[in-house]
A and B are shown apart, each in its own frame.
Chain A
Amino acid sequence: MRNKLYNFVGKNPFWVILICLTFTVLSGIGAQKLEFKNDYRVFFSEENPQLTAFESMQKIYAKSDNVSFVVAPKDGNVFTQQHLSALKDLTKASWQVPYSTRVDSVTNFQYTYAEEDDMIVEDLVMSTKGLTSDKLEKIKQIAISEPLLVNKIISTTGHVSVVNVTVQLPGIDPMVETPEVAKSVRAIQAKFLAENPEMDIYLSGMIMMNTSFGESSISDSSTLIPLMFLVVIVTIGLLLRTITGTISTVLIIIMSIVTTMGLAGWLGFYLTGPSSSAPTMIMTLAVADCIHILTSMFYEMRQGADKRTAIARSIKINLQPIFLTSVTTAIGFLSMNFSDSPPFRDLGNLVAIGVMLAFVFSVTIFPALLTVLPVRVNKQSENKKDIMAKLADFVIAKRKALLPLTSVFIIASVMFIPNNELNDDFVKYFDESVPYRAATDFMQDNLSGMMVVEISVKTGKSSGINDPKYLRSVSDFSDWLRDRPETDHVNTITDTLKRLNKNMHGDDPSWYKLPDSQEMSAQYLLLYEMSLPYGLDLNNQLDVDKSSSRIVATFKNMTSNELINVEQEMIAWFAKHAPQYEVDFASPSLMFAHIGQRNITSMLIGTVFALILISILLGVALKSWRFGLISLLPNLAPAAIAFGLWGILSAQVGLGLSVVIGMTLGIVVDDTVHFLSKYIHARREKNATAEQAVHYAFDNVGRALWITTFVLVAGFTVLAQSSFKMNADMGFLTALTIFIALVVDFLFLPPLLILLDKGKYKSVEHSGVSADAGIPKAIEAL
């Protein structure tokens, strides 16, 4: 079969090239159908309970996608005639933002006050003409003492203000709608800056976050992919010194990516932040196959074989190992299907497809290309092999010290794993170079955080919210929430009712309290609603039947666990003080807070599945269950060590990192496979001792292993440069894991083999027990 494959390829290279290229082009056409989804909601599956809760809340009240203009006058005072006038213009311009349904600013705040028996409702800043310093001071005092505004629309000292635009996307074509809004608000921002050079203005909010997902990925693909090509060309060019080999490899890579992304288009995939890193990953993984084939081919040619024979032999030697490593890698990536977050399922499936395609291309069109293109063998001194031999000598000589040392290092690293904390802070998905991140950090430092929780308190009764008991509960809850140190702002209908009660009693401050009857509250609201302008109504706080109201709490930045704790405490508060009401909690912040937890659990199941499958495959391939079991240790240790180191370095584990174990498993297995198969070969066929077999393995695959590891580490390090932190961290941790895997295979596995695999081959009894003893350790390492 192996011979037949190259016989055909070698005889009909042009046909093979033609067929492969046709397949690539036909598939590639599908790439036109690929679109990028600009929406944080893609991170959640349809059955995600937090997403369901949030969507139902949005249907009951109003949708809350938004854009925030954060305005900061350089002189630190919003309340000047000039600055208020600029804010008023900005407010007016904001109404022109596509799909905008509401604009909240300090100038259009509906200020209510009493004048004898008149009740006046008007914009807080009606006209900016002739504002005296007294009037400006009065406006400032009203604004910074208004609970609806302070810490949300205006900072406590009045130095930063926000114009918040609520946007209701029709959702017919999100790929067009979000960029449309972003374009419009950026134009407004640019105009504002041009007209008001003495003020800074930043853009934040959900729409800008969604926009950044798309833009980060696009900027990634225009920088990271070329960078990755450069890495590939330099690596192969320098290490293998072949122009034809480099060109052919680059072609295989391009074909693997184009075909995969094309098929993705035909299959109806869409792109998201995580899945847009698929090309970089496929590129990295595809290189390994080519390197193995090229290395063997050049080895044969240097041994004196002609090109065709060399290619045929190389394919014969490599077909099975490459197939096996491709399958294990694919299984590792397919384990991402257990993820709770669809973009990671897509990423896993895309890379799995890409890896298998790369395998197919590297045993068909790749040898065909090498057959038709001229290949010149460079007479290269094989001193690299000496380095490997020296390393083998060193490892064998120092094994008594290396094994305890590496074991201690592994255990010490594992001990730091609990340091890691689940945290999905979607603001930190972007690095500081992304304007959205900078704007949101600025907003957090000067005004309020981005952590928002919406709380719907339901009575189940028509007009139920006007019940004084209900209002008391909501007000008490809001007060309790405000007293907590992590709370920045609480938006509640009870504040409005208290203010109206005061207005209805001649602005007497002692009447700033809840109305004491159902009728009074209902009638105040009726009055108030009739006096509000378009877009500033109460529909975002009250449902259509006035049976429930929504409280919106804004918190300082905190970790997912802290937010979940706050949620638990809020649930406990209602259970204790107002158990009669049904209360729902929902928001994007909560969705992200919970997804890490859900995803880790499901990914662990997925990883275990992948591990079992891969171990069975290894057992079959190595024709030994014992070695299959021993291989568990070097296969699992790298991820364990990497997560331990991460626990020291950063300790923040989000969605992106929770898939790393499964993903790297399939890759690190490759090194073990190559090393073990050579070791076993020596033990079985050549009757070598464990020491000799280790030496043999180093001599034979040491070089190929470090070259492929170098390419893989380089590739994932390139991904680590992404401005999309989720991908960057994923890339970094994967690179780290793969690097550690090589170290483990070179320094830990050989001493372990020598220790466990004593005596003659087939002395199964003794070492079998020892191998079993390794399993619990391996499971702990998980």
Chain B
Amino acid sequence: MLTQKKLMSAIAVLCLTLVSNSSTALTLDEQKGLAISVEAKKRDLGWQDSTSDMQMLLRNKQGQESIREVKMKTLEVVNDGDKSLTIFNKPRDVKGTAFLSFSHPVVSDDQWLFLPALKRVKRISSRNKSGPFMGSEFAFEDLSSFEVEKYTYKYLGEEELNGLTNFKVEQYPVDENSGYTRRIVWLDTKEYRVHKINFYDRKDSLLKTLTFSDYKQYLAKYWRADKQEMVNQQNGKSTVLTWSNYAFKTGLTDNDFNRNSLKRAR
């Protein structure tokens, strides 16, 4: 099973290389969309690792609210998806649950979960990253790191947003298990920070709108938004993510991101 997966990923990488090399086949808009995305990724390289706290505020149409809290540790991985460790803190009955994910741009992520109630680490095999993360309006794929290979692109033009000039770029997921047909992303032309994303579902209807606000700069280079608000346009539910205690280059290594590290994570 595992070897099959490796083979698949190898083929996928090969295909992708072929596609990106034959960039002559891309239209001008596609080339520009790709170029903007490459530049955005480039500006966010080199932070090595980060830790942060995240609070989620879930709200349904009835006005009912619910709060979740997690701690995130992320390790930058060059030429692949990042490794991330999510430690759940609230609600209390999932406290200590830890989720380790090695994300990959085009093939399924590797995922492990430590369940304190069971005192065991379980490897989860699922191609799905489009389901709701902790019942929120965010899918896991919305939270995982941005990799250029995850999408193909098309530049749509420039647009004013929040008083800034933004590139408007359309992104088409490569992974067929993605929950979306496309996303439209607004990045400001100055710092290449994402300000807004519209998500379109499988039948190409607007599903969700994500807005980023309260951007702060860390290490004089890396921009992070303290607040992300996702509104589901179809069912009226919404989720607000609030990030705090960002720290970069804290000295995390691969050893902090393996099965054994899961049990001692907190």
- Whole-angstrom distance from the CB of B68 to the nearest CB of chain A? 10
Q: Please, which residues of chain B bring their CB within 8 A of the CB of A529?
A: 131-135
Query: Is there a chain A Cβ closer than 8 Å to B115's Cβ?
Result: yes
Within 8 A of B (CB), among A47-68: 56, 59-60, 62-63
CB–CB A520/B118 < 8 A:
yes
A582 to chain B, nearest CB (A): 14
In whole angstroms, what is the CA distance A422 to B38 when docked? 69
Complex: chain A residue closest to B63, CB-CB: A59
Name the one of B93, B115, B116, B177 contacting A527, with C-beta atoms under 8 angstroms. B115
Shortest C-beta distance, B90 to chain A (Å), equals 9
By a CB distance below 8 angstroms, the chain B residues around A523 are: 93-94, 97, 115-118
| Interface presence of A546 (CB below 8 A) | yes
Tell me the complex Cα distance, A534–B201, Å: 9
| 6 A-B residue pairs with CB within 8 Å | A96-B202, A170-B234, A522-B94, A530-B131, A530-B133, A539-B132
Q: Which of B5-13, B53-61, B217-225 contacts A (4 or more CB under 8 A)?
A: B53-61
| Residue of A with least CB distance to B60 | A544
Taken together as a complex, chains A and B put the C-alpha atoms of A462 and B92 apart, in Å, by 10
Which chain A residues lie closer than 8 Å to B42 at the CB level? none
Distance of A239 Cα from B128 Cα, bound (Å): 75
* Complex contact A59–B134 (CB within 8 A): no
A537 within 8 A of B: yes
A542 to B58, CA, bound (A): 13
| Interface presence of A488 (CB below 8 A) | no
Segment at the B interface, from A114-122, A187-195, A550-558, A715-723: A114-122
Are B179 and A544 touching (Cβ within 8 A)?
no
Contact across chains for A542 and B128 when beta carbons are under 8 A apart: no
In the complex, are the beta carbons of B117 and A532 less than 8 A apart?
Answer: no
Question: Within A468-514, which residues are at the interface with B (CB < 8 Å)?
Answer: 504
Inter-chain CA distance A59–B59, complex, in Å, is 11
CB closest chain-A residue, reference B131: A532
* Docked-complex contact A117 and B122, CB < 8 angstroms: yes
Known A121-B125, A530-B99: A546·B92 in contact at CB below 8 Å: no
The answer on a CB contact under 8 Å between A504 and B118 is yes
Task: Give every chain A residue within 8 A of B111 (Cβ-Cβ).
Answer: 530
- Which B residues are closer than 8 A to A by beta carbons? 58-62, 64-66, 88, 91-94, 97, 99, 111, 113, 115-118, 120-128, 130-135, 139-140, 177, 179, 201-203, 205, 234-235, 237
Stretch at the interface among A72-80, A98-106, A127-135, A217-225: A98-106
* Whole-angstrom distance between the Cβ of A629 and the nearest chain B Cβ: 56
16 other A-B residue contacts (CB within 8 Å) besides A463-B93, A466-B93, A523-B116: A95-B203, A98-B205, A99-B205, A117-B121, A118-B124, A504-B120, A520-B115, A523-B118, A526-B88, A527-B122, A530-B111, A531-B124, A532-B128, A532-B131, A539-B132, A544-B65
A121 to B113, CA, bound (A): 14
Q: How far is the CB of A328 from chain B (nearest CB, A)?
A: 48
User: Smallest distance from the beta carbon of A496 to chain B beta carbons, Å?
Assistant: 14
Inter-chain CA distance A98–B115, complex, in Å, is 39
Give chain A interface residues in 717-772, CB to chain B under 8 Å. none
- Tell me whether A526 and B134 are in contact (CB under 8 A): yes
Q: Are B118 and A118 in contact (CB under 8 A)?
A: no
Most chain A C-beta atoms within 10 Å of own C-beta, residue among B93, B130, B235: B93
Residues in B neighbouring A56, C-beta threshold 8 A:
62
Contacts of A652 in B (CB 8 A): none
Q: Is the CB of B128 within 8 A of A531?
A: yes
**Residues in chain A near residue B60, CB distance under 8 A:** 59-60, 543-544
7 shortest interchain CB distances as A-B pairs: A534-B179, A534-B130, A522-B93, A532-B131, A545-B66, A520-B117, A533-B128
Q: Which of B58, B124, B130, B140 contacts A119 (CB 8 A)?
A: B124
Chain A residues in 8 Å Cβ range of B234:
99, 101, 168, 170
Minimum distance in angstroms from B256 CB to a CB of chain A: 21
Asked if A518 is at the interface of the complex by the 8 Å CB criterion, the answer is yes
Contact of A119 with B122 at beta-carbon distance under 8 Å, contacts A519-B116, A535-B179, A546-B91 already known: yes
Residue of B nearest to A532 (CB): B131
B67 (CB) vs chain A CBs: closest residue? A462
Give the residue of B66, B97, B118, B124 whose beta carbon is less than 8 angstroms from that of A544: B66
Would A534 and B93 count as touching, CB distance under 8 A? no
Option from B91, B97, B126, B139 in Cβ contact (under 8 Å) with A120: B126
Contact A534 B66 (CB under 8 A): no
Contacts of B118 in A (CB 8 A): 504, 520, 523
Q: Decide if B116 touches A97 in the complex (CB within 8 Å).
A: no
